[in-house]
Chain A
Amino acid sequence: MIYEKYMRILYVDLSTGKIRIEKREDLMPYLGGVGIAAKLLEETMHADLDALDPSQPIVFAIGAGTWMFPVLTKTVAMFRSPLTNELGESYAGGRLAMTLFMAGYDAVVLTGKSTKPVYLQVSSNDVQLKDARAMWGLQSEATGQAIRDRQTGGGKRSIIRIGPAGENKVAFASVCVDSYRHFGRLGLGAVMGSKNLKAMTVIGDRSIHIKDTQKYFKVYQQIFKKCTSTDMMAKYHDAGTPINIASLNAAGALPTLNLQTATFEQGDQISGEAFAKKNLVRKLACTGCPVGCIHIGMFRREFDKGHEYEAISVSYDYELIFALGSFLGIQSSDEIIALIDEVEEAGMDAMSCGVCLGWATEAFSNGLITEEQTLVKLTFGDANSYLQAIRYLAHGKNKFYRDLGCGSQHASLIYGGSEYAMQIAGNEMPGYHSGYGALVGAAVGARHSHLCNGGYSIDQSMKEFDETAMVDKILNEEVERCMTNSLIMCLFARKVYDRQTILDSLNSVGWDLTDQDLTDISKRIYRTKLRIKNAYGFRQKAVKLPKRFFETPSMHGMLDEKTAQRMIKDYVAKTEALVLEPDPVLTKSEKPAEAAAAGK
C-alpha cells in the first residue's frame, strides 16, 4: 500500500462470496507485482491438485510504482497454468493496474468456484459478486459492452473478461483487459472459466495524497522526459512492434509455415509498414503511458452481396502477426486482422492458437489426422479454413479440437508429430527463431515465455556467440526482470528505467531502498518462483525440445541440440547455486511471521 509499511490484500472466496482484507507487513521484502503475487500464490496454491480445481487461486497484483510513474502500467496474474501444469504468470496493461491502485488493493486473491456464472465488482468501498448467467456464452467485446452499459465509473474503471474459450476451458484461453490488452499466455481464461467467473470490474476512485510532491514530481518529470523526448521508446509508438517483421524476416528469424522455414517469402505483405499503410487507423495507450504503442488496425469486410460492409478493428502486434500470419502462411494484413478478430472474440492466446494450428496443418497434410477430425481442410495460406478452425477450437467442437485445446504438446502426444509441435515445455513458441538465446531462454524461463529473459534480444545483440556468456546473460536478465516486474514496468520502458531511475522513483514515494536491496529483492522473488515450479513438479531435465528447432536454420545458422542441452544444464547449475545463497532479510524457513520480525 503506497506510503504504508504493509501490502493490502483482498481475498475473495467465489464459493461463498465472503471477502477478507489482510494487511501484510511481511510482504514488503517482495516489493510488489510479481514479488508479492508469487508469495501469495505459494501460500494459497495446491500443488497436488489439478490446475482447474476450484480451490486453486488466481492472484492479481500491481507494482510498487504503479500509476505514479510513466509506463508502470502492468498488472500481473499468477495461477497454475492448465497449459503447462506449472507456473502461470501473465501480464496485462490497460487500465487494470491504475484502478486497483486507486481502489486501494496491492493484490487480489480469488479462490473457490461460484455455483452460477458471476462477475466480480471491486471498488474501494464495495466488493460484490454479480449475476452473469446471461453473459455466459457471450464473446469478449459483447461482455465488455454489457458490463459497461450497466455499471457506473466510466473513465476510472477497468473491465476484464473471458470469451467462450475460457468458459470451455481451452488450456490457452486468455482474458481480455479493456478491449485491447490481454492476460494472453498460459490459460488464465480457462482458470477464470473453471470458477464460473466471467469478468471482473475494478473501479478506482480513492483520494491518495502525495507525501512529498516536490521530490516526487521532480523524478516524475525526468522519467516523463525520457519517455517522450528521447528515442528510447519512439519506435513503439511509430509503427510499433510489427516493424520487426521485416528485419527478423530478412535475418531469417521469423518462424514460418510451422517453422519449416524462418523466412517468409511474402513477408513484405504483412510487415509493420504494410499494416501502417493499409490498416492502421488509431493508436492508444495504457493508462499512465505517454508513449501509446497500441496499434489499431481496421479492414472492411464484405459480409453480404449488395455492397454490405462492416469495419473490423483489432489491436495488432508483432507476435500476433507471426502466429496468425507467417506461421500459417497467411499473406495479407486484412486476413491477419480477420484472424486476430476471431481469436480475440473467442478469447484465446493468439500465439498458442496460431502455433497449435500450425502443427495441426502439418499433421493434417501428413495424414496423422483426417478431415473427419479437423472438419475443414487445414491448409497453409487459407485464412477461411483457419477462421472456421478457431471457432471449433474455442467451442471444443469434437474430440480432436478438445485435444488441440489442451495445447500442441498434448495433441501431438495423442496424434503424433511431436517433433514439429512447436512448443517449449508445453508453452507454444514465440516468434523468434533467432538462435540459442531464444530457444534456451524460453526453455529455462520460469514461464517459458520469450519475455522471461529476452533471449531473442540477446541473440540479436551478441556479436559473437559465447555459450557461457549467453547463459550468464539469460540468467541475469531472468533475475533482474523479477524486480522490474515488481514495479510493474512495461518491458518497452526497460531502457528508461535503469537501476538509478528505479531507486529515485521508489524512494521519492516513501521507499528507502539501495541498489543492493534491488538485487536481493530480485533473487528473493526468483527463488520463490523456483520453489513454486518445483512444488508443481517441474523438472528442467524432463523438457524435450522438438526436433524441428534443430532442423530449420535459425538467424545464427543451424542450432545443435547438444549445445542447447549443455547450456540448459549450465543454467540449472547456476540457479542451484543461486537458491543456496543466503537471503540477508528473510530467515531460512521464510515463514511470514519470522520474515516480518526480521524487518525491512
Chain B
Amino acid sequence: MAKVLRAAEMNKCIGCFTCMNICSIVNRQNHSLTKSAIKVRTSGGMTGHFVAIVCIACQDPACMEACPSGALTKRPGGGVLLQTDKCIGCHKCEKACIMQSVFFDDETQKPIICRHCGSCARFCPHQCLVMEEAEEI
C-alpha cells in the first residue's frame, strides 16, 4: 500500500524549517521557502506553537474535483498528482482546499502540491513528520 505523509508529532517541532528547505531543493531545485509544498508556521509568533500546513492526503480530494482541466489525478494512498502540462494555472484547486495546503507558485503560475515523496520526513531531525501506510477506507 502507498504511504502518505503525516505531520504526526508537531509537539516535537523545533522550527528549524529543514523540511521546507528539503522540499524546495528536492522537488523544485530552489533555495526558497516559497517553493515548498509543506509550510511550518507559528501560531502566535515565536512564542506560539508550530503547525505544519501540508496536504493531508484526502481520499476524496476537493482540489481534484475543482480542477477544470484534468491536471490533478488521484494518487494511490491519498492526495493528488499534478500534471503541470495540463494545468492552466486557474487557482481553483488552491481555493478548493479547505486545509489551505495547496500553495501557488507565482513564478511558474502553477500550484505547489505535495506528492508525498517523504523527503521532508527523512530529514526531519525530530521525527515530527512521518510516512505512514495509508488506511483503506
| Chain A residues engaging chain B, CB cutoff 8 angstroms | 2, 67-68, 70, 98, 101-102, 141, 144-145, 148, 154-156, 178-180, 204-210, 213, 216-217, 220, 224, 228, 283-292, 294, 313
Contacts and interface: CB of A to CB of B under 8 A. Distances in A.
Given A148-B45, A224-B123, A289 B31 contact: no
Contacts of B40: 155
Contacts of A67: 21, 31
B39 A155 contact: yes
B120 to A, nearest CB: 12
Contacts of A204: 32-33
A283 B14 contact: yes
Contacts of B83: none
4 smallest CB-CB distances across A and B, nearest first, come from: A292-B14, A179-B46, A285-B16, A290-B125
B33 A210 contact: no
A161 to B, nearest CB: 12
Given A178-B46, A290-B16, 15 more contacts: A2-B31, A98-B33, A154-B41, A156-B33, A156-B34, A204-B33, A205-B33, A208-B31, A210-B29, A213-B29, A284-B14, A284-B15, A285-B14, A287-B15, A313-B47
Contacts of A292: 14-16, 125-126
B132 to A, nearest CB: 22
Given A210-B25, A287-B16, A145 B45 contact: yes
B42 interface: yes
Interface string B50-84: 00000000000000000000000000000000000
A206 B32 contact: yes
A287 B46 contact: no
A70 B16 CA distance: 10
B25 A220 contact: yes
17 contacts: A67-B21, A145-B45, A155-B39, A178-B46, A179-B46, A204-B32, A206-B32, A208-B31, A213-B25, A213-B29, A286-B16, A290-B16, A290-B123, A291-B16, A291-B125, A292-B14, A292-B16
A287 B17 contact: yes
B31 A210 contact: yes
A205 B32 contact: yes
A207 B35 contact: yes
A154 B39 CA distance: 11
A473 B45 CA distance: 42
Interface of B: 14-18, 21, 25-26, 29-35, 39-42, 45-47, 107, 123, 125-126
Contact of A207 (B26, B34, B41, B46): B34
A210 B21 CA distance: 12
B30 A208 contact: yes
Contacts of B21: 67, 288
A290 B18 contact: yes
A484 B61 CA distance: 48
B14 A141 contact: no
Contacts of A286: 16
B21 to A, nearest CB: 7
A209 B33 contact: no
Given A102-B33, A284-B15, A292-B14, A144 B41 contact: no
B34 A205 contact: yes
A180 B15 CA distance: 12
Contact of B45 (A179, A210, A285): A179
A154 B42 CA distance: 8
A263 to B, nearest CB: 34
Contacts of A205: 32-34
A205 B32 CA distance: 7
A315 B15 CA distance: 15
A146 B126 CA distance: 32
Contact of B46 (A284, A288, A289): A284
A180 B48 CA distance: 12
A271 B136 CA distance: 51
B14 to A, nearest CB: 4
* Best-surrounded residue of B26, B30, B39, B40 (most CB of chain A within 10 A): B30
Contacts of B46: 178-180, 284
B124 to A, nearest CB: 9
A217 B14 CA distance: 22
A286 B30 CA distance: 20
B47 to A, nearest CB: 6
Contacts of B25: 210, 213, 216-217, 220
Given A285-B16, A288-B21, A289-B16, A209 B45 contact: no
Contacts of A217: 25-26
Nearest to B43: A154
Contacts of A180: 46
A101 B17 CA distance: 15
A47 B15 CA distance: 41
Contacts of B123: 224, 290
A271 B46 CA distance: 26
A96 to B, nearest CB: 12
B16 A207 contact: no
A46 B41 CA distance: 42
A216 B26 CA distance: 11
Contact of B30 (A70, A145, A148, A209): A209
A180 B21 CA distance: 22
A210 B39 CA distance: 20
A101 B30 CA distance: 13
Nearest to A286: B16
Contacts of A154: 41-42
B41 A155 contact: yes
B39 A102 contact: no
B112 to A, nearest CB: 12
Contacts of A224: 18, 123
Contacts of B30: 207-210
